[in-house]
Amino acid sequence: MSEIKIVSIDIDGTLLNDRREITQEVKASIQQALAKGVKIVITTGRPLPGVRDILADLGISGDDQYVITYNGGLVQTASGKKTLFHQPLDLQAFQKINAFMINQDTYVQVETKDAAYTTNHKINHWASFENSLVDLPLFVLDKTSDLDQIEFIKAIANAESDELDIVQAAVPNEISSLVNVIRSTANNLEFIDKNASKGNALLALADLLGVKQVETMAIGDQANDYSMIQQAGVGVAMKNAIADLKAIANYQTTSNNQSGVAHAINRFVLDE
């Protein structure tokens, strides 16, 4: 087996346990991998401000470490000073998404590197929770055309899970043909550029760093992790992952509550 040089790791349900903690076992394995020169790339639907505390806790910092945010819409250095890969969402696509969400009576917003914007004047508690979690200020606009001079990366709908089940099933081909529609959590439905995915971002980063596809590993648990599990040299599904992800993974590790990330890194990176 090829030596693993990049490990892409999802956050919720993967890196974090159900208490939203990084276990000492996971932290130790990541720090050993970093000391070996392996790039540990936190790969998430969140923006960079929403992962800074996690990066700091793991000791991932500087211009020679990397993070994949917005479900692959953006690849940045951990310092945030340099963007390596960027796939913005088209305004016209969002206008169609926004009109659909208004028809569904469902809240939706768009996000840039450092802020969120919506034309919905009624902010639900799921949106408030999400913006607080990822540390994004929210600006309420009067109309979508006010976004004309703003480059945003994704749109995200926030609602009760059963409401989003209905909305996701109703997304018309007019929208799904333009963008990737993904479920990152039960209460989030996200829309990103067709060329943006965790898998594409991982391979773009690997190419920039001169790392072969077979030298990459990805670890995840949800539908938005599908592309990176499928495209990485070694795709690892958590024991708590959805069935579709387990079906395409090369290996199934233990659950997020059993330090599954550590077990995968120990096996494929540290040879323990």
Which of the residues are catalytic? Answer: 10
Q: What are the structure tokens assigned to 127, written together?
A: 């949106």
State the sign of the Cα–Cα–Cα–Cα dihedral 83, 86, 92, 98. negative
Give the Cα separation of 21 and 6 in Å (integer). Answer: 23
Contact 217, 4 (CB under 8 A): yes
Contact 8, 219 (CB under 8 A): yes
Give the Cα separation of 216 and 43 in Å (integer). Answer: 13
Give the Cα separation of 251 and 218 in Å (integer). Answer: 10
Q: First CA to last CA across the chain, in angstroms?
A: 14
Ordered DSSP codes for 210-255 = T--GGGEEEEE-SGGGHHHHHHSSEEEE-TTS-HHHHHH-SEE---
Give the Cα separation of 121 and 153 in Å (integer). Answer: 21
How many CB atoms lie under 10 A from the CB of residue 117? 21
Give the Cα separation of 200 and 75 in Å (integer). Answer: 10
DSSP 10: -
Contact 64, 39 (CB under 8 A): no
Give the Cα separation of 102 and 45 in Å (integer). Answer: 23
